[in-house]
Amino acid sequence: MTYTFCGILTSFLAGFYILVQLEPTGVDDPYRAHDLVEKRPNIVLIVSDDHGREALGCYREKGAPPPTIRTPHIDQLAADGTRFSHAFCTTASCSPSRSVLLTGLHNHANGMYGLEHQVHHFSSFDTVRSLPVLLEQAGYRTARIGKLHVAPESVYHFQQVLGAGSVNDPASIGRSPVEMARKCYSFLEQKSASPFFLYFATDDPHRSNTVAPDGSPIFDGTKPNLFGNKPGGYPQVGDHFYQPRDVRVPPYMPDTKASRAELAQYYEAVSRLDQGVGRLIEYLKDTGQYENTLIIYLSDNGAPFPGSKTNLYEPGMRLPLIVKLPKPQKPGFVQDAMISWADISPTLLDFAGIEAGKSQKQGRSFKAIIEQEGVTGWDEVYASHSLHEVTMYYPMRVLRERRYKLIFNVAHALPYPMALDLYNSFTWQDILRTKQKVYGKRTVDAYLHRPRFELYDLQADPDEVHNLANHPRYRDVLTRMQTKLKRFQQQTHDPWVSKWEFE
């Protein structure tokens, strides 16, 4: 028999291929496990503070005139990724909403019932396992920059703090989003076999304040809030100025000189935020990370005006959500599935290859439907608001379907409490000073004094003005939704479920 070099080489390669095929391929094999880690995406979660979807160019209603506000970088992110048209926070308050984002548990289940800072002092249970902790255990490098506003640190632990923001601090890094992005560069360019998770949380466009000697915030309602804007601006931020006459006053707000003056300042803060997002994306591209990075943009709750923030009316809870996949197949896709912030952690854990059964979550992953058309089974969300400031006891539970929305005002006998920054806003103080009876589409009295149940037909009444809870024609709808809402409370171990029986 004659042996040629080519024949020997071919036989060797064939045999080697068979041996490789017989090697184990489960994650117990360290080499295979390393490959799986390599294929997992980096994750960047961008959380803005009080950014309502009406202040974003890419969320312009179909047929509406071009928006006044300029948000080219976030708009481009939406053009490159998927824009969710029906995304909702579960509580329109900063700390509780962030706790839901980072745990997949409603605030009534994770213990963060209200604000974390100063006298409010709410904190999640020590037994809660948060997103950054679970990702670290799965081999991710974790880092955060900007506003955290949840506690305790052991529950919401990140390996690196690139810049610690602070609450109601005029000097916080969270007010300078381009500088925030710059501080992330060294983290992004690190050479590592492990993927990373970056939590990028701005203070913009939250209202700004001065600070009293005891450290408490002061909001001056005698003039328009500056929303962090200041003479000279911020490093490498090109200022975008807006005229009050040019802003678009949303329906839930009064069209007054006071509200327009504040909206103009608010727009400027949003544009500053937009530049920070643009710079962060630029650095992801510059460091070669962009193509393997999942990017999520969202806000903790609605805009910092009465009628939105701390409310579970649509402006307070229906928010922007943009998801840019590492390799999008349908750039510019609009997904109308209804998802909530309780679904964010389960989705990110799914991308990281962490089995849902290994973590207690009340949301569910929407990874599989991000670019899917005509999805079914995503037609309702639940919301649970307990408190904002420690003095603002006003728990609300909500079932929001495609057409109907039910709000259960648990403490309806109390007047609706207003947050310090909203009560002392120039917009609200102008209402009080001029003794106006109407705020936006509602009377002031209806806004402050709410019934036990509010039921709205959102198709016929998108501004949620006409309460149908006592209308005989909608008795079956009310009963059906009450049953579902109570079941949700029971399934999520909501302490306030007892109020159905005892009050």
Q: Are the beta carbons of 155 and 128 closer than 8 angstroms?
A: yes
Report the SS3 class of residue 399. Answer: strand
Decide: residue 419, CB within 10 A, 0-12 exposed, 13-18 middle, 19+ buried: buried
Q: Are the beta carbons of 366 and 122 closer than 8 angstroms?
A: no
Interatomic CA distance for residues 306 and 430, integer angstroms: 12
Q: Are the beta carbons of 461 and 296 closer than 8 angstroms?
A: no
Which of the 8 DSSP states describes residue 464?
Answer: -
- Closest Cα to residue 427, out of 171, 299, 210, 244? 244
Which residues are designated catalytic?
A: 94
Q: Are the beta carbons of 156 and 212 closer than 8 angstroms?
A: no
Interatomic CA distance for residues 206 and 168, integer angstroms: 9
Q: Are the beta carbons of 219 and 227 closer than 8 angstroms?
A: no
Distant-in-sequence, close-in-space partners of 496: CB < 8 Å, separation ≥ 6: 108, 386, 395, 397, 410, 489
Give me the helices (H) in 81-138, please: 94-103, 107-110, 131-137
Look up tokens 């327009």; give the residue.
Answer: 260
- Closest Cα to residue 265, out of 92, 59, 425? 425
Residue 196: which H helix or E strand, with range? strand 196-201
Decide: residue 486, CB within 10 A, 0-12 exposed, 13-18 middle, 19+ buried: middle
Q: DSSP secondary structure string, 25-39?
A: -STTSHHHHHHHHHH
Q: Are the beta carbons of 175 and 228 closer than 8 angstroms?
A: yes
Which of the 8 DSSP states describes residue 260?
Answer: H
Interatomic CA distance for residues 36 and 26, integer angstroms: 10
